Structure formats: structure tokens, C-alpha cells
Structure 1
Amino acid sequence: MSWVLNLQPDLILGGPILSLTQDILHHHQLKGLVLDVDETLVPFNSSEASEELMEWVAEIRQVASLWLVSNNLSESRIGNIARSLNLDYFLGAAKPSRRKLKEAADAMSLPVERVAMVGDRLFTDVLAGNRLGMFTILVEPMLDPTKTELFSPIRDFEVWFSQLLGVSLTGKQQNFTKPDRSR
């Protein structure tokens, strides 16, 4: 499988994770979500989940199992976020390694084909999920609204570089078909 196909998300939300709905999960027959933390659920420097995120988790957990998988090594920060959302978690996942994603799917007792990897980064979240055979969902980063510059330099570079490689990140919003990765 080529790098380009491994970097291609199955679904691009075009908004933050809060725009991921039960209807989207039902449409794709997803029963579990592996969620990145930094800039997917909370801004990078935040150690608390917003009330809006807590409400989203309560709604989504009615139809899907949830698990946090972060590359971050801060037990106090990631653990605090996970506890506030009442979710299990792994830290130090070393994504794009697939190991912790597989462990999370196994802990949810779900086949990887029924689990989506949801994140804001192509070279960690999307790449890891695609390498494992998960459905992959790219979301816009959750950035700190108090900052004057609302951009994510690493993600912006990844998007630019991926597009140079031929990854299509336009016109895939709410794309309900999985690309053929057999090539």
C-alpha cells in the first residue's frame, strides 16, 4: 500500500470533533472510536475538557465505545482529561505505530473494521489508523480561542506536504465511501 493511500482519510469533517454525529457513525457502521487528545479533543496547552466536549462524549457513547490514544507522555494531563470524560486511555502511543490502536480496539471487543481513528493529524492519527485497517476521520484542530493566531503549524505542514504527494483533502467532506486501498 502506498504512502499516499495511507495518508488519505476516509472522512474529512471540515470542522472540530464536535461535528462528528451519531448519524455519521451509523452511516459508516462504526461501533467504536479511538480518539487522539491534543488538538483533537482539547487545545494543546489545555488540561481540561470543555463542557461542550463532555456533552459530545455523553451523546456519542450512546452508540459507540470510546478510547483515548495519545502520543503525549504527560500522565497528569492526559489522565485528567480522560478522567473528566470518564474514558480509558493510553499515552505514549508513538503513532503512527498501530500497537496502542489495536489494544484499544481489543479492549472495546471490536474488530478494527468497526472502529474509527479520529484525529487532527495526517502523519500520526490517519497514518496509524489506515495502517491498521481502521476507518479514519480527519477533524479540524481544537485550538485555543484566546490565541491571536489560530493555526497549527505542524498540521499545516502535513497538509501541504501530503497534498504535494497527491493526497486529496478537498471534496471529501462527508464522503461516505471508503477508498480502495488494495493497490
Structure 2
Amino acid sequence: MAWVSNLEPDLVLEAPIVGLTRDILQHYQLKGLVLDVDETLVPLKASQASDELRAWVEDIRSVASLWLVSNNLSETRIGGIANSLNLPYLHGAVKPSRRKLKQAAAAMNLPVEQIAMVGDRLFTDVLAGNRLGMFTILVEPMIDPTQTAYSSPIRDFEVWITQILGVSLPSKQHKFTKDDKSRQTEI
């Protein structure tokens, strides 16, 4: 079952996307990021990017090209978020299809090996990125700070199925901290 390895991210970031730093990108020699939107950049019901996310985008765009690629069919929603971040976007991507990821990579004019697909889902974001040969980063979902309890049954189910199929997510986790710029493998 070689296809199962396509569910294994290259990096599991035990934090939301704002924890993805310039140091991590430089460590992996990444020059472009394809970013999922719903629950990767903004909570599912949010229509605007947070100030924290806007600051993160401004910081990261100085070292990497950024594109939003979402499965969401609402151009109004995805376009509004993209415009608030001043980023190009594609919606209705039907990930794990690679078609719109290829479009974003071509627009960045970078080899796919220098581009990371960043998302919160294994069966869409990670699978699509790995199928195209991109570096894949699984992040924790971005949740609404006013929500007291967070539950992601689809994500939990994906992790459970992936583990049943023999993919070991913990063996691929790496943690970067501000105090320690070197990579530490977590067991």
C-alpha cells in the first residue's frame, strides 16, 4: 500500500499556522506556501482574517510566495479572506485533486519541491500536496477564540483511519521553538 504514505505529512506542526516560522521555512529550504483556508487560516465560520494572521502573512511573505487554495466553493468567502490578506487565491479546489495546486505552483514559478502545502486535514491537504511532490505541513486547526470547546470529528476520524492504515504521525513530528532554533524530534 504505497499510496498510504501519501497521507503522511513531512512536518506535523503542533500549533496553528501562526506557529510556522521563517526559521522552519529556511530549514526546509521552502520558498513558497500553498495555504488551505478553512480552519487552517481562519475558523470555519469566520469571514475575516485575525490581526495575528495578518501579521504572520506580512512576516512570511518576505521569505516565501503565498497562495490560498481552498476546497470551499464560496468565492465571496474565500475571495474576501484572500483580499483582506492581499493574497492570490483559488477556490473550489476539490483537494486531493492536484489541479489547482499545480496552478498555484506555476504562478509562483517555483519547483514543487520548494513549495509546501499547508493545511489542517490529512485526506485533502496532505494527500494533495504529497501526490504533487510538495513538502507537506499539517497544522492544528485555527479555532474561534470565543469557543470554549473545540471538536473536529472529521479530522479525528482521518487521524484514526490513517493510524489504522499504518501511518505513524508522531514519528514525523518536529517541534521548533523560539528558544531552540534547531529541530527536535518528538517521540
Counterpart of 1:81 in structure 2 is 81
Please state whether the residue corresponding to 2:136 is helix, strand or coil.
strand
For 1:24-43, what per-residue CA distance to the aligned partner results, in whole angstroms no more than 9, with x for missing partners?
Answer: 00010100000000000000
Partner of 1:116: 116
Q: Deviations over 1:78-100 (max 9, x none)?
A: 11100000000000000000010
1:6-85 alignment runs, 5 A limit:
6-85=6-85
Gaps of 5+ in 1: 177-183
SS of equivalent residue, structure 1 residue 136: strand
- Name structure 2 gaps, 5 residues minimum: 176-182
1:137 CA drift (Å): 0.2
Partners of 1:15 and 1:168 in 2: how far apart?
18
- 1:172 is aligned to 2:164: no
Amino acid at match of 1:81: I
| Amino acid of the structure 2 residue aligned with 1:5 | S
Match of 1:161 in 2: 161
Which has the higher mean CA deviation after the structures are superposed, 57-66 or 149-158?
149-158
Paired letter, 1:143: I
The answer to whether the aligner puts 1:92 opposite 2:92 as a matched pair is yes
Q: Equivalent residues in 2 for 1:127-166 (5 A)?
A: 127-166=127-166
Instruction: Give how far 1:126 is off.
Output: 0.1
1:47 positional shift: 0.6
Tell me the matched-pair count: 176
The one-letter code sitting in structure 2 at the alignment partner of 1:13 is: L
Other structure's SS at 1:129 match: helix
- TM-score of the two chains, using structure 1 as the length reference: 0.93
Q: Using the TM superposition, give the Cα deviation of residue 156 of structure 1 relative to its aligned residue in structure 2, in angstroms.
A: 0.8
Aligned-residue CA RMSD (Å):
1.2
| 2:170 match: secondary structure | coil
- TM-score, normalised to structure 2, is 0.91
| Contact in 2 for aligned 1:143/1:151 (Cα 8 Å) | no
Structure ranking higher on relative contact order (CA contacts 8 Å, 6+ apart): 1
Tell me which residue corresponds to 1:181.
none
